[in-house]
Chain A
Amino acid sequence: MGHFVPHTDSDIERMLGDIGLASLDELFEVVPEALRLAGGLDLPQGMPEPDVLAEMERLAALNHHGSDLICFAGAGAYDHEVPSATKRLTFRSEFVTAYTPYQPEVAQGVLQALFEYQTLVARISGLPVANASLYDGASAAVEGVNLAVAAKKRPTVWISGGLHPHWRATLATFAAGTGHRLVDVPLHDGVTDWTAVEAAGGDAPAALLVASPNYLGAYEDLRAARRVADAHDALLVAGFDPVSSGLLHPPGELGADVVVGEGQPFGTPLSFGGPYLGLFACRAEQVRRLPGRLVGRTVDVEDRPAYVTTLRAREQDIRREKASSNVCTNQTLIAVACMIQLSWLGTAGLREVALRCARGTRYACDALTAIPGVELMAPAPTLREFALRTPLPAETVIERMADEGFLAGVPVGIEGGVVTDSGDALLVAVTERRTKAEIDSYVSCFEKVVR
């Protein structure tokens, strides 16, 4: 009992004596008696540490991963290399057990790491300012939409049908509170067809939200999206796969006002979906609407470079009900991992990881679409993920392939031009970790399963 409460019986006795109490129970006399829990919590007794680890190992052993279930699934969660340097450095306890840098004089480590992270996110997104992270890609999309609606003072947002369905669902959940009007823009041949929504008329949008590559893996024409945004005096909020910036023009260069993304590919393991990392960057003129924390460089009293969280007047603890975001805690540790990983990759490494994803994707896609009855869902070019129609429903393919040791992908469908996370098609992702031998064996298993 009380593994981590250090007090001995005599400590407790002495401390209680100092404050004039006779028992620990007396500490809680301020709690009305009728509310006090008689008989304690309905939970088992505490366990010794080795027993806890054994129980956690039992649970872990019930999950399949790694070489038991070779990963060809993506959908915003990718099986990238996390090298030893990133693992070891990220788990330095000075990062792990610090809190938000409220006292900058003793938090320069976290603050400088976040400043470097912000610089890297700005560079890969192609915009000048990035915040110190948000919860995940979905929350970054929500905050991007909130920024645009606040900036344009209009509640309508046009949302590409190619957006991650879980991002879309999250946006819809929060729109119940903010009252934002989310208008779906359908896909045509796997990419967003803005003419459909323009033809429909309706309220002018505050923003267009589109991801490139989109959920089907296809490149979107962001320059065209920019033109549509301009025609309606709307902001362009672009989602991106940050790995793609190794080869593709970043959204900021193509006209996006706000760039949001899922940062998990840089240094964070699959982690059953979290904690991940919300990337968020914007133009300089939007900086006072930036959600979450922002680190700035300044000096200390001796004129030495120093870092501090800045433009704090934007934040919830100061603006309270006038704040446009309630974000307090972010994902600092995951942002630090991202900074380390991007520095480990460097200029050549980021290009290389994107190129290797593209090679594996091309190889796997060519081999899979050579199987009779298997074809691409959309003709658009892709970088590291693609959607297939197969002779069997995706769920069946996934179940059968899992029994053969492969995580074949995730189900995907299109309803009314909008992608869904259920459906008969299969979304397949290939990262730099997949070898030719693994892909060959995946393809031959696939062929057997769908025959």
Chain B
Amino acid sequence: MSSVAPTSAAPGGKATSAPIMGRDHEPTIFEYSSTGRRAFSFRTTGLPEWTAEELVPPEYLRESPVALAEVCERDLVAHVTRLTHRQYSVDLGAYPLGSCTMKYNPKLCDDAAALPGLAAVHPATPTGHAQGWLELLWSLGDTLCRITGMHSCTLQPPAGAAGELTGLLLMRAWHDSRGERRTKIIIPDSAHGTNPASVTLGGYQTVTVPSDERGLVDLDALRARLDTDVAGIMLTNPNTLGLFEQDIAEIAAAVHDVGGLLYYDGANLNAILGVTRPGDMGFDIVHMNLHKTFAVPHGGGGPGAGPVAVSERLAPFLPGPVPARLADGHFEWHTPPRSIGRVHAWHGNALALARAWSYILANGGDGLRRVAEGAVLNANWLRHRLRGTYDLPYDRPNMHEFVASTTALKKEKGLRALDVGKRLLEEGFHAPTVYFPLIVDEALMIEPTETETPETLAALADALIAIAADEAGVGAAAPRTTPVGRVDEARAARSLLPTWDAVVGHG
């Protein structure tokens, strides 16, 4: 049986001490507005002070300025600061949101990406004056290839979903180049929703392959779906249940046998850093979520970065331009000969890429392996602690995350996964991902990440165990200690108020 608590140290990831400053709502910035109040100031330029009428032809000139909030800087700062006090974040406490890899974001990386020599550079700067950026991007691409076991890389895709679509367009270009028109992409039933959405935008049809009783791709069912219409398969490994697809070599051989390609969804790359590589498993195309694996902070939902690495045979098709190192050690932009074209207006989310590079430098090859070890150790330890309290539909050694369920607790006293998440907020932790993957009833998808201490894990486990022991009905009333109580989502959709003007106009 598990020990009660690893040490007597306080859990660093438990946030119940965060102050709650009252029960009022925060007015919108527009409600602070008072005509004529201002915060702006501009550089002294010494330029002639021509009027708008002298500069803009009358048919284009607007009659009155667009109304924005008119506030002083002090009120703006107070308003936004109060908004931050109504927001949970990794910096505040643990964030065991499955499939999102909400690890701690080192402050070092913030400072690195804020260097003016990176942040203040125009994207069209001639390469001779941007050698530092080109070297950084080239080095990052080269390193991501080493980590994934691939040949070449594009850094343009600004997010994971953009990486997926890029990968599918690479598949299309590859098959086109061989004069083949394939129509289908195979996706497991445990896949993230972006996969089938990307397949549609890539011009393919989704064919779903079921998971077997192990929670892994059903190899026989896969073989039954494979034919020469199959352009490829999209897999996450470890999959969204946190389980390693042990048959991956057989899967790769079967897909390659019919001329299909293998796409690796890098959502869960954190689990295998330095342990195994998608390239060695037989994957042809890999996207990475740098905002998960390489600690680029999630920014409340972006910006991320979703580079795509490919095997040698697909390298000529990569989006361009890509940074290239010349024989003399200088760097230049280079567009691959059969490039599918741009997938971003410039070079991708460059500052996010710089953050990832600083994280990789700090960790090194040895540190990245330790990341995977810590993530997998934490997730397995937590699964053991929850055994006997929550259902564990796939109670097998997992990788960086695992899926629990409240099926029995719901039957016993109506406790749903949603309620567990809301109760956990009261206990000082962010909720896990709930109701995903779709193949598990009342799913709680838990990813503690490697950056939480054993003390935090123990406190999180204690909280989850306490919630399971709640009397019936307690969960449905949660959360009671948060800035707002449970939010009426149905009303938001029924009477849509997407702007302050809609609210005011509504009466």
- Whether the Cβ atoms of B92 and A103 lie closer than 8 Å is no
B464 at the interface (CB under 8 A from A): no
What number of residue pairs across chains A and B have CB atoms under 8 A from each other?
732
- Whether the Cβ atoms of A7 and B303 lie closer than 8 Å is no
A112 at the interface (CB under 8 A from B): yes
In the complex, A30→B95 CA distance in Å?
26
Within 8 A of B (CB), among A321-380: 321-323, 325-334, 336, 339-340, 342-353, 355-356, 358-360, 362-363
- Whether the Cβ atoms of A346 and B37 lie closer than 8 Å is yes
Name the residue of chain B whose CB is nearest to the CB of A311.
B493
Q: A97-B105, A173-B340 are in contact. List 9 more A-B contacts (CB 8 A).
A: A32-B246, A40-B369, A69-B122, A89-B81, A105-B483, A146-B201, A272-B122, A343-B68, A432-B42
Q: List 19 A-B contacts (CB under 8 A).
A: A28-B376, A56-B112, A56-B354, A59-B118, A59-B132, A62-B130, A96-B110, A96-B299, A105-B485, A115-B500, A136-B345, A173-B343, A272-B122, A273-B348, A306-B488, A334-B303, A342-B68, A347-B66, A436-B45
- Whether the Cβ atoms of B365 and A40 lie closer than 8 Å is yes
Shortest B450–chain A CB gap in Å is 5
In the complex, A83→B43 CA distance in Å?
11
- Whether the Cβ atoms of B277 and A362 lie closer than 8 Å is no
Name the residue of chain B whose CB is nearest to the CB of A429.
B122
Within 8 A of B (CB), among A294-322: 294-302, 304-308, 310-313, 315-322
Q: Hey, which chain A residues are within 8 Å of B451, CB to CB?
A: 4-6
* Given A44-B365, A81-B42, A179-B203, A301 and B485 contact (CB-CB distance below 8 Å): yes
* Given A56-B115, A63-B121, A122-B499, A272 and B351 contact (CB-CB distance below 8 Å): yes
* Given A5-B451, A43-B146, A342-B68, A302 and B485 contact (CB-CB distance below 8 Å): yes
Binds B, one of A14-22, A188-196, A201-209, A228-236: A14-22
B152 at the interface (CB under 8 A from A): no
Name the residue of chain B whose CB is nearest to the CB of A284.
B496
Shortest B282–chain A CB gap in Å is 9
B190 at the interface (CB under 8 A from A): no
What is the size category of the interface that chain A forms with chain B? 35 or more
B196 at the interface (CB under 8 A from A): yes
In the complex, A253→B64 CA distance in Å?
13
In the complex, A89→B143 CA distance in Å?
33
Binds B, one of A70-78, A385-393, A441-449: A70-78
- Whether the Cβ atoms of B341 and A356 lie closer than 8 Å is no
- Whether the Cβ atoms of A332 and B301 lie closer than 8 Å is yes
- Whether the Cβ atoms of A46 and B363 lie closer than 8 Å is yes
A185 at the interface (CB under 8 A from B): no
* Given A35-B276, A176-B340, A18 and B3 contact (CB-CB distance below 8 Å): yes
B371 at the interface (CB under 8 A from A): yes
- Whether the Cβ atoms of B197 and A166 lie closer than 8 Å is no
- Whether the Cβ atoms of B112 and A333 lie closer than 8 Å is no
In the complex, A173→B172 CA distance in Å?
11
Selected from B2, B70, B298, B348, the residue in CB contact (under 8 A) with A99 is B298
In the complex, A9→B371 CA distance in Å?
14
- Whether the Cβ atoms of A296 and B493 lie closer than 8 Å is yes
Selected from A19, A58, A245, A336, the residue in CB contact (under 8 A) with B132 is A58
- Whether the Cβ atoms of B105 and A170 lie closer than 8 Å is no
- Whether the Cβ atoms of B487 and A99 lie closer than 8 Å is no
In the complex, A96→B301 CA distance in Å?
9
Shortest A338–chain B CB gap in Å is 12
B90 at the interface (CB under 8 A from A): yes
What is the size category of the interface that chain B forms with chain A? 35 or more
Shortest B382–chain A CB gap in Å is 10
B293 at the interface (CB under 8 A from A): no
Binary flags per residue of A48-63, CB closer than 8 Å to B gives 1, else 0 = 1100110111111111
Q: Give the 8 A-B residue pairs with the shortest CB-CB distance, closest first.
A: A273-B346, A60-B117, A109-B87, A273-B123, A46-B364, A62-B132, A333-B299, A275-B303
- Whether the Cβ atoms of B248 and A35 lie closer than 8 Å is yes
Binary flags per residue of A116-153, CB closer than 8 Å to B gives 1, else 0 = 10111011100011101101111100000010000000
- Whether the Cβ atoms of A308 and B487 lie closer than 8 Å is yes
Q: Hey, which chain B residues are within 8 Å of A128, CB to CB?
A: 498-499, 501-502
- Whether the Cβ atoms of A109 and B84 lie closer than 8 Å is yes
Selected from B55, B172, B361, the residue in CB contact (under 8 A) with A358 is B55
In the complex, A435→B47 CA distance in Å?
7
Shortest A415–chain B CB gap in Å is 16
Q: Hey, which chain B residues are within 8 Å of A311, CB to CB?
A: 493, 496
Q: Hey, which chain A residues are within 8 Å of B7, CB to CB?
A: 11
